[in-house]
């Protein structure tokens, strides 16, 4: 068999469930059934990928391309960042790319040097918040045409459903904490060097802590329960 220049795909996923789903889907495609896949994070043994990642992602004469599927939490660690062999032979794919700013991946994003990038998101509007400034810089603007919900349903890749918004207020203590983190973020930006602010781990932590207040708002549970009681029909799946 003729040997080809090796290409590498690094896929980032926010959860172990998606890591398993990516692996399952990759194996369905003709020609990829036997492609070397290295898992990072999740159920993967750290000693295996730590020993092999640098060589696995290197550009060399090799008959098979390699695919790395890494959970964001593991990809944010120095053990992963220092072992990826970046270059023009690497394609970086980020699933649910809008989560990357909140997942502590600032150092990883600063280390990326690859030939091509692809960010996937079903909620690209979240891609524009202050946590994701570096993410937007790396992955660029949305590709056209944007596949919105009606178009995805028309293509048959998304089941039909109704999409409604419910407003959830913050409790007084949650609002106070949100305002406090906003104040601390403003002070940290004012005190930091503009050239390093984006990668400042303390600032990234403040952004993440503030975002968690919205994600974990107590009133969400009650609103969700009321919505199910109101809309659920017996026999619905």
Lowest mean pLDDT among 46-50, 95-99, 221-225: 95-99
Q: pLDDT averaged over the chain?
A: 83
Give residue 184's pLDDT band: very low, low, confident or very high (50, 70, 90).
very high
- Could you tell me the maximum CA-CA distance found in the chain, to the nearest angstrom? 67
Q: How would you label 10-34 residue by residue, b for 16+ Cβ within 10 Å and e otherwise? A: bbbbbbeebbeebbeebeeeeeeee
Nearest to 49 by CA among 37, 61, 59: 37
Please write the tens of the pLDDT for every residue from 218-234.
999 999 899 888 888 88
Give pTM, 2 decimals.
Answer: 0.65
The pLDDT value given to residue 222: 93
The pLDDT value given to residue 227: 85
């Amino acid at each position: 068999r003729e040997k080809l220049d090796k290409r590498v795909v690094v896929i980032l996923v926010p959860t172990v469930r998606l890591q398993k789903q990516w692996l399952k889907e990759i194996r369905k495609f003709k020609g990829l059934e036997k492609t070397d896949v290295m898992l990072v994070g999740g159920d993967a043994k750290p000693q295996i990928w730590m020993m092999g990642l640098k060589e696995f992602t290197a550009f060399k004469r090799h008959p098979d391309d390699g695919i790395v599927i890494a959970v964001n939490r593991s990809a944010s660690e120095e053990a992963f960042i220092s072992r990826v062999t970046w270059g023009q032979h690497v394609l970086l794919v980020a699933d649910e790319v809008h989560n990357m700013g909140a997942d502590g991946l600032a150092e990883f994003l600063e280390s990326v040097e690859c030939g091509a990038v692809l960010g996937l998101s079903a909620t690209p509007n979240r891609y524009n918040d202050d946590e994701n400034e570096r993410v937007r810089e790396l992955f660029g603007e949305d590709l056209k045409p944007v596949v919105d919900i009606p178009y995805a349903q028309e293509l048959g890749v998304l089941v039909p459903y109704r999409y409604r918004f419910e407003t959830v207020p913050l409790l007084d203590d949650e609002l106070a904490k949100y305002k406090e983190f906003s104040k601390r973020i403003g002070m940290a930006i004012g005190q930091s060097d503009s050239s390093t602010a984006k990668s400042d781990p303390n600032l990234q932590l403040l952004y993440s802590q503030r975002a968690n207040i919205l994600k974990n708002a107590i009133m969400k549970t009650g609103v969700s329960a009321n919505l199910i009681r109101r809309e659920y029909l017996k026999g619905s799946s």
